[in-house]
Amino acid sequence: MDIAGKVALVTGAGSGIGRATAQALAAAGASVLVADIDAGRADETVTLITRSGGKATACQADVSAVAGVEAMFAAVERAYGGVDIVFNNAGIMSGEPTWPETPLARIQQVIGINTTGVIMGTQAAVHAMRGRGGGVVVNTASMGGLAPLPYDPMYAASKAAVIMFTQSCVMLKDTDNVRVNAVLPGMTDTAIQATSGDGTRAAAWLQPTIDEFGDRILPPEAIAAAVLDQIRDDSLNGECRVVGN
């Protein structure tokens, strides 16, 4: 797909991988709906894009809620008349206290954002793209979905589910001309790492790994580049691409 002239919707676009990808899509010529649960951060991303000459509109939305997903797709329809690219990127870690003391409400939130939000976002994307002849969906999974995470099994399970869901959507290319792929980032320099503990610092169990990776920690732009490649390459469908350190 040629990104220039297309319309993209990016969730979790207020920071990190989402922001970097929204900026990259805009730089490639797409109009971008910047969706985030934090309205202020979404506005910041829009400002960064528009100052660089790109086109973007902000939308505050909770991807784990039906109303939030509906609001995003209604917003992109109002702003740009439809959507061609959806990047289901929003995600969180469980934080502290760690498993098995994680509060039930937090477990529900992790699964709701990381997995249910991706599934609902993909379904909404397919429905929206039918009238435009198809499109591309990319989901953010994680290398954490490929191996056990004893202190955050909810995160690992949620990302493993995204991988299997993505691979199970390959038939959408034949039925709706919608390709669905996923990126599996390694350790990346985003707020999800820095605030994985009590919300102000990295989790005690994760900090040693962060320290070990040091300058090998990936910049968000590296993940954004992989996402754009999956969008552009029409041969990619059901690909779950590891972007490792």
Dihedrals φ, ψ of 9, to 5°?
A: -120, 125
Active site residue 151: no
Q: In the structure encoding, which two tokens stand for residue 211, read together?
A: 């320290």
Sign of CA dihedral 28, 132, 44, 232: negative
Q: Indicate which residue of 155, 161, 180, 185 is catalytic.
A: 155
CA 6 – CA 132 distance, rounded (Å) = 11
199-237: b or e for each residue (b if 16 or more CB lie within 10 Å)?
eeebbebbeeebeebeeebbebebbbbbbbebbeeeebb
- Angle 93-109-224 (CA atoms, 0-180°, nearest 5)? 50
CA 220 – CA 188 distance, rounded (Å) = 6
Q: Which residues have CB under 8 Å from 20's CB, separation 6+?
A: 219, 220, 221, 223, 224
Catalytic residue annotation: 155
